Structure 1
Amino acid sequence: MEISKIKEILNKPIYFSLNKRHLSIFLKQFAVLLTSGITPDQAIYILKDQREIKSLNYSLNIIYNDLNNGDYLSLAFSKHKIFDDFLITMIKTGEESGKLSTVCDKLAEYYEKEDEISKKIRGALTYPLILFITSIIVLFFVFKYVMPTFTALFESSNMALPFLTKLLIKISEFINKNFIIIIIVAVLTIILFIVGLRKNKAFKKRIDYIKIKFPIIGKNYIKILTGRIARALSISYLSGVDFIESLEIISLGTDNLYLQEKLENAIYEIKQGTSINEAFNNTNILPQLFNSMIEVGEETGQLGEILEIISKYYKNESDYAIDSLLRIFEPIVIIVMALFVGAIVISIAVPMFDIINNYNY
C-alpha cells in the first residue's frame, strides 16, 4: 500500500455521536455571535476549531468551506448526520425568516432541556440497575457456592426437607451443572436484545409498545414523550414552520417507533381534514389534556401561544415523571431481591433448626 494511502486512512476523522449538551453549547455560542452582527460563515469560522469533539470540529470545517462555495447554512448542515432533521429544518426556517439567531437560541434551550431529561433518566435508572445486577451476582454466588455446602449437610441428615428447600436445591444443582451454558445464554440473550433493538424495527416497535402500555411506568413514560413533542412543536410552530411539517419532522425524529406510527396516522388524518384534536385523540397515547389544549388553540387561532403554555406545563410534568420512575423502580428492585434473599434464608434456616433439634434429642 502506498504511503499516501496509509496517511489518508490515518488522517481520516473518527466520528463520535454529538450529544445534546455539546449541540446546545454550539448553538448558544452560534446565536451569540449572530446577535452581535457576525455573519453565519464568520461565526462558523470562529467556532470550527474551538470544539473538542472531533466529529463537530471536522463537520464545521467542511460547513465553512461549503458556505464559502455558496451553500445555504441549512444545506451545509444537512450534509452531516450529526445534525438531525429537526435542527436542519429550524435552521432553514431561521434563514428564510431572517431570525436565525433567535431560532438558534431557542434550539439551544431545546437541546439543553433534552440533555437534562436524558441525564435525569439515566440517573433514575442507574442505582436500581446497579442494585439489580449486584443482586443477581450475589444470588449466583449463593446458588453456586453456598447452597451446595448446605445441600451436602441436609442429605447426610436423611431428614425430610421443606418444599422451598428442595426447590432451591434443585435450582442450585441446575446452575452448577450448566453454569457455563447459563452464562453463554445470558450473554447471547443480551447481545441479541441490543442488536434486535437496533436492527429489527418490528422487535423495537414491540418493545416501544410495551414501554408505553406497561402499568404505572407507561403513564410516566408518556408524560416524558409528550413533553418532548410539546417543546419541539412550540419551537418549530412559533418559528414559522407549518404545523403539519413540524409534526412530520418530530415523528421521524422520535425514538419510539410505536409512537412514530401513531403520529404518522395522525398526520394522515389531519391532511384528510380531521381536526388536530381528534387526530391526536385517535392515537390513544397522547394525554387528553394535551389534546384538549391543542383543540383550544386551534379554535381560538392561538395555537402558537397554547403550544408554548403546553411546553412549559409538560416540562414540569416530565421532571415529575422521572422522579416518579425513580420512586417506582428502586422499591420494586429492593422488594424483589428481599423476597429472593428471604426465601434462601428460610430454606436454609428451617432445616438447620430441625437438624439442631434432632441432635439435641
Structure 2
Amino acid sequence: MANFHYKARNAQGKLVEGTVEAPSAEAVASQLLEGAMTPVAIREAAREIDLGALVREKLRRNGGVELDDLILFCRQMYTLTKAGVPIIRALKGLVETARKPQMGRTLKAVCDDLEAGRDLSGALARHPKVFPLLLTSMVQVGESTGRLDETFLQVANYLTLEKDTIDRVKQAMRYPTFVVVAISIAIAILSLFVIPTFEKVFKGFGAELPLPTKIILGLSRFSVTYWPYILLALVAIFFGVRQWLKTERGRYLWDRAKLRLPVVGSIIQRATLTRFARAFSMGFAAGVPLVQALSFTARAVDNVYVGERLEQMRHSIERGDTLTRSARATEMFTPLVLQMLAVGEETGAVDQMLLEVAEFYEREVDYDLKNITSAIEPILIVFIGGMVLVLALGVFLPMWNLSQVAR
C-alpha cells in the first residue's frame, strides 16, 4: 500500500483534493469513481504518477494470455452470472478449466481478493497486464447497476469484433508479405550463387563489361565476401528495432508511422477509429463518466499516437469544450463523422451516433481490405519488373556483347 494525493471533480464540478491509501493509482481512480468523483490528477507521495503515460501505454498480454482467452473468459462469466452462480464459485470453476496456466493463476488471485472483501472490478484491476482497463471499468459499471451479466456480454462482443478486425488486416497483409520475403530470398540466392558463376565466364573472355554488370558483380562480390557480417548486422538491426519499439518514444513514432504508410495506412487508421467508437459508445451507454470513458478508450485503441489525440480530447472536454469541437481539433475524423457526433450531442444520443460511426468505418475498412490485394499488386509488379530488368541488363547484355566479339 502507498499514499496517493489526488485531485478530482465532484458531481457539481467542484475541484476536490485529498490523500488516500491504495495499492495503485488505478485503485484510487476506482474509489473516486465509486464516490461520484471524476479523477483529474493522481500522484504517489513518494513519486509522481504520469497519468498520460498510463493512458498511452499499449494493451499488453502477460504469460501467453491473449485476446481469445479474454473473449472466452467474458462469455463464460456471462453464462455463469446470468444463471445466478455466485461470483466466487464461478471463478473457482474457471480456475480449474483455464487453458493457460497464467490465466488460471490470475483468476486464483482474483478469487483470493474477493474472499478478502474486495469487489470484482477492484480485484481485476490489480492485474492490468491480463485484464485491460476497458474490461475493469465496464465491470465496475455492471456492479453498480446490477447488470454484470450484460456487461460481460457487451465486452465479449466488443473484443470479438476487435479480434475480427485484427485478423482481417493480418490476412490482407499476408500476400504482400509473402511476396516481399520471396523476393528477398531470390535476391540472396542470385547474389551468393548465380551471379558469381557468370562472373567466371565473363573473366574468361576478358571483354569490357557494361556498367549495370559491373554494379551487379560488385554487389555480388561484396555479399559473398561479407555475408557473415551482413547477416550479423541484420540480426542486430532486428533486435535493436524490437528494443526501440518497447520504448515510449519508439512506440509513439512507429504508431504514427503506421498511419502514414501507403495503401495500408488509412486502413489501419480507420480500423483504430472503429475500436475507439465502439469502446467509447459502450462505456458511455453504460454510464461511465465521459472523461473516464475517454481515458480507458485511449488505451483500448492500442495505438499510442491515437491515444495521445484522445487524451487531447479529454483535456479539451475538462476545460469545458464540447465533444464535437474536441474531436475536430484532433484532425482524425472525417466531416461526416463530425456531423454525426454533433447530431448526437444535440439529441442526447451520443452512444448511438458513435455506433453509427463504428459501423461507417467498419464498412470502409471491410471494402478496402477486400480490394487491398488489387491495390498492392501493381506496386509489387513494378518492383519485381524493375529488379528483373536490372538483372537482365546486367547478365544478358555482356553475353550479347561476347557473342558479337566471338563472331
**Do the structures match in fold with TM over 0.5?**
yes
Q: Please tell me whether the aligned partners of residues 24 and 108 of structure 1 are also in contact (alpha carbons under 8 angstroms).
A: yes
1:144 aligns with 2:184: no
The count of corresponding residues between Structure 1 and Structure 2 is 345
| RMSD over equivalenced CA pairs, Å | 1.9
Change (3 A) 1:21 1:230: same
Q: Please tell me whether the aligned partners of residues 230 and 307 of structure 1 are also in contact (alpha carbons under 8 angstroms).
A: yes
Q: Please tell me whether the aligned partners of residues 213 and 395 of structure 2 are also in contact (alpha carbons under 8 angstroms).
A: yes
Distance 1:333 1:52 in 2: 42
Change (3 A) 1:325 1:189: farther
- The letter for the 1-side match of 2:401 is D
- Give the aligned partner of residue 303 of structure 2: 256
Q: Following TM superposition, by how much is the alpha carbon of 1:290 offset from its aligned partner in structure 2, in angstroms?
A: 2.4
| 1:34-68 deviation line (CA, Å, top 9, x unaligned) | 11222222321232211211111111122222222
Q: Following TM superposition, by how much is the alpha carbon of 1:105 offset from its aligned partner in structure 2, in angstroms?
A: 0.2
1:197 aligns with 2:249: no
Q: Following TM superposition, by how much is the alpha carbon of 1:324 offset from its aligned partner in structure 2, in angstroms?
A: 4.2
Distance 2:237 2:335 in 1: 38
| 1:264-311 deviation line (CA, Å, top 9, x unaligned) | 112111211222112111112233332221111012211122122222
Change (3 A) 1:150 1:126: same
- The letter for the 2-side match of 1:306 is M
1:358 counterpart SS class: helix
- Give the aligned partner of residue 264 of structure 2: 217
Q: Following TM superposition, by how much is the alpha carbon of 1:169 offset from its aligned partner in structure 2, in angstroms?
A: 1.4
Distance 2:378 2:169 in 1: 17
Change (3 A) 1:241 1:327: farther
Alignment counterpart, residue 167 of structure 1, candidates 205, 215, 218: 215
Alignment counterpart, residue 277 of structure 1, candidates 302, 324, 327: 324
Percent identity for Structure 1 against Structure 2: 25
Change (3 A) 1:136 1:284: same
Q: Please tell me whether the aligned partners of residues 284 and 290 of structure 2 are also in contact (alpha carbons under 8 angstroms).
A: yes
Distance 1:333 1:270 in 2: 45
| 1:222-259 deviation line (CA, Å, top 9, x unaligned) | 11111110111121111111222111111134332221
1:123 aligns with 2:162: no
Q: Following TM superposition, by how much is the alpha carbon of 1:124 offset from its aligned partner in structure 2, in angstroms?
A: 2.1
Distance 2:88 2:378 in 1: 53
| 1:146-187 deviation line (CA, Å, top 9, x unaligned) | 111112222332333232222211211221222111111111
1:344 aligns with 2:398: no
1:238 aligns with 2:262: no
Q: Please tell me whether the aligned partners of residues 276 and 300 of structure 2 are also in contact (alpha carbons under 8 angstroms).
A: no
Q: Following TM superposition, by how much is the alpha carbon of 1:330 offset from its aligned partner in structure 2, in angstroms?
A: 5.0
Change (3 A) 1:242 1:64: same
Unpaired segments of 5 or more residues in structure 2? 1-61
Larger deviation: 26-35 or 207-216?
A: 207-216
1:48 counterpart SS class: helix
- The letter for the 1-side match of 2:67 is K
- The letter for the 1-side match of 2:153 is D
* TM, length-normalised to structure 1: 0.89
- Give the aligned partner of residue 28 of structure 1: 75
1:63 aligns with 2:110: yes
Larger deviation: 67-76 or 305-314?
A: 305-314
- Give the aligned partner of residue 93 of structure 1: 141
Distance 2:251 2:116 in 1: 42
1:84 aligns with 2:132: yes
Distance 1:170 1:289 in 2: 55
Question: When you count strand as a share of all residues, which structure comes out higher?
Answer: 2
Q: Following TM superposition, by how much is the alpha carbon of 1:110 offset from its aligned partner in structure 2, in angstroms?
A: 0.7
- Give the aligned partner of residue 8 of structure 1: none
Distance 2:272 2:306 in 1: 9
Q: Following TM superposition, by how much is the alpha carbon of 1:31 offset from its aligned partner in structure 2, in angstroms?
A: 0.5
Q: Following TM superposition, by how much is the alpha carbon of 1:326 offset from its aligned partner in structure 2, in angstroms?
A: 4.3
- The letter for the 2-side match of 1:74 is S
Distance 2:312 2:135 in 1: 23
Question: When you count helix as a share of all residues, which structure comes out higher?
Answer: 1
- Give the aligned partner of residue 110 of structure 1: 158
* TM, length-normalised to structure 2: 0.80
Q: Please tell me whether the aligned partners of residues 344 and 350 of structure 2 are also in contact (alpha carbons under 8 angstroms).
A: yes
- Give the aligned partner of residue 4 of structure 1: none
Distance 2:331 2:373 in 1: 25
Distance 2:81 2:166 in 1: 29
